[in-house]
Structure 1
Amino acid sequence: MVTVYLKTGEIVQVRPEELEDFIYANIEKIQPIRVQRRRERKGTIPSNDAASISSR
């Protein structure tokens, strides 16, 4: 299910296969929102060089 927020404050759950038709029928009523993404890690991921060295 996809969550759609309407300008009236209503929250609607729509099935993915019905989403396109719902959007076209209710385009003026849909409230655009911005979802804050998670922060990226600051550190680097250690490489897996130890595995390649031990296999020699």
Structure 2
Amino acid sequence: MKISGCHQSETGAAAWLAVRSYLDSARKHGLNAFDAIRRAFTGHLWMPPIALTN
């Protein structure tokens, strides 16, 4: 529950931030929020490409 724009619990805030981070990362890589959410709910999480190291 949000009270005056703040999350009431630390657990709720952490969950909201995890979802927000996932959606922001997906968007930065060209996937829209709806597709990212659909993939998450169907068990096909989008993952960012792994940076290749030499």
- The answer to whether the superposition gives a TM-score over 0.5 is no
Higher strand share: 1
Q: Which entry has the higher C-alpha Rg, 1 or 2? A: 1
Higher helix share: 2
- Structure number with greater CO (CA < 8 Å, separation at least 6) is 1
Q: Which bin holds the TM-score, normalised by the shorter protein? A: under 0.3
